[in-house]
Structure 1
């Protein structure tokens, strides 16, 4: 069946660029013509407002008379008139970010095609350090919030707050990718994946050293037991899931191979980090338990708390179903990537696998490191 681009006899990349520009024009034009409805009630309310509230360490932000105000008390936020934006995510914003991610992935596919790279599975592993880097960079903002004087203040700190941080990490990764390709074309490197992995490792190590320094000198407090328990739990969970797959349903992994295990492990890190952070911080002697920020996490916690008796919850906690959901969902996604997908569209398959890993391992790394250094 012919695609839309084929029916219109238009270059797919040009069609993608035109669609993106049209969408941006609609949002910008609507914000100018109908600022209260389009900008205040939608763009600011669900997307930019939560970032501003988070960047200013406010309980919420309100939009009134074309200006943004920050409130620092729950009672004031509850009494405020809409639109009111709270730090974190909503179902509307998460849907919007998923749509943005899908559009961005299409653009990345066109770029890789233009550069004639990205069909090798080695690129997946070369991008791993950048996934860890994204999660670690988000903790830098947590550290500056906890410090007496913020190292990175508003508005610069919005660059390392979700979801803007995804664009920041994407920009760093894109620069690294283009630099790696340039090194190959100049004869300095044999294959672009090696310098790409090296650049990612450098930015990751620098970020981790800053976080370690922050934990040692303040404001953080180092809790290495959290890191050990999270990584051990994630590895055991992923290995157990993988053993079941290999033993009873090897078709699930027929297309992905090692990539599938890494994806499941990355989502296991997210699941275990939530269990440890929300239920076991006190038991591990690592300070108070954290509070879920994602609607899905909160919903699972609420459902579990209402379904199980208090005596059981006192032993198991109410977050463990989130780990189960992550493992099942990651395995199901891996199943979708059969051999045919990698044969027909290897670039898009690799890019999608990286994105699927990032939406699990990125937040998981952030939660794990945040709990580890106590910020």
Structure 2
């Protein structure tokens, strides 16, 4: 061990202490702040703007934008992809400690409590798609929206823990209430906009997408009863199946009746190769079936928290996409 390393370790507070966590959380902010003060042009203009914030602003404006002569182009690049991944990885230890401190129980109630917040995120993305968020649009496009949804979720968890400790509520109930209010408000705003601007509302679209997703999920539930894999009908797995099928259903409706084409590269390739408008739905259903089969079979062998996170993640990918697509098509966007 070098002399420098020993001096650094001696100066640092004890690992796991409150002081250590404060330092861990503040260190990135301090480093970025120091860089902005010392080298503002390099750090902000040539890094933050060009590769991180500029693409977000360009996405919100639907065209390239410039700042101090530096062009920001919408979409991902190597720098922002690595930066976002590094931010997520760096935040995981702190998030885990936060959840441990709150004594969060990872069960089906918590997953269904989280679902409205995920749905609200999809609704906000749809509001951005139809240009209803004005200057706030930059906070509700990828990747900004992930940080916003995460921040709301973290705060809701904290409030839920306080309510639980005071015997006036629970974490799933509080998180679900926050998400429900947000989701209803976002969807209501979209519908109100359609009514107030005399936009022809395709009310049949959300009815069809949710109806298809619910019907096929029910069919899956019935079929799983004939298979000797106990956890195939676990509530969390059902949420995962429904979330993916909702996304598949909105894609099916858009491609079959409204002239859309699948956005994902793989699904679009399959659609172009087969010419079958339901190819994406079939593909997503089969892939989802394979994933949940594996998760159900591995539940008793896998770490419970890891299994919960993986299973919930499958549903959380589909839910917002189902909402976003259904709302956009409802309003003719």
Structure 1 contact 105–352 (Cα < 8 Å) conserved: no
Out of 264, 267, 272, which is 1:300 matched to?
A: 267
Structure 2 contact 57–65 (Cα < 8 Å) conserved: no
Alignment of 1:14-93 (within 5 A): 18=24, 48-56=53-61, 58=62, 60-61=63-64, 66-68=69-71, 85-86=73-74
Aligned to 1:72: none
Aligned to 2:238: 261
Q: What is the CA-CA distance between 1:290 and the residue it aligns to?
A: 4.0
Out of 282, 287, 292, which is 1:324 matched to?
A: 282
Partners of 2:286 and 2:24 in 1: CA distance:
37
Out of 112, 122, 139, which is 2:126 matched to?
A: 139
Partners of 1:164 and 1:342 in 2: CA distance:
36
Q: What is the CA-CA distance between 1:240 and the residue it aligns to?
A: 3.8
Aligned to 1:186: 166
Instruction: Tell me: CA distance 1:64–1:345, structure 2 relative to 1, closer, same or farther (3 Å).
Output: same
Q: What are structure 1's unaligned runs of at least 5 residues?
A: 1-8, 69-83, 282-288
Structure 2 contact 236–312 (Cα < 8 Å) conserved: no
Structure 2 contact 108–235 (Cα < 8 Å) conserved: no
Q: Deviations over 1:348-367 (max 9, x none)?
A: 43334333322111122111
Aligned to 1:278: 255
Out of 83, 86, 96, which is 1:109 matched to?
A: 96
Structure 1 contact 109–347 (Cα < 8 Å) conserved: no
Structure 1 contact 51–162 (Cα < 8 Å) conserved: yes
Q: What are structure 2's unaligned runs of at least 5 residues?
A: 1-13
Q: What is the CA-CA distance between 1:134 and the residue it aligns to?
A: 0.9
Partners of 2:117 and 2:15 in 1: CA distance:
34
CA RMSD of aligned residues (A): 4.0
Q: TM-score if structure 1 supplies the norm length?
A: 0.69
Q: TM-score if structure 2 supplies the norm length?
A: 0.76
Aligned to 1:333: 291
Q: What is the CA-CA distance between 1:340 and the residue it aligns to?
A: 6.5
Paired residues in the alignment total 319
Partners of 2:268 and 2:331 in 1: CA distance:
24
Instruction: Tell me: CA distance 1:228–1:99, structure 2 relative to 1, closer, same or farther (3 Å).
Output: farther
Instruction: Tell me: CA distance 1:181–1:203, structure 2 relative to 1, closer, same or farther (3 Å).
Output: same
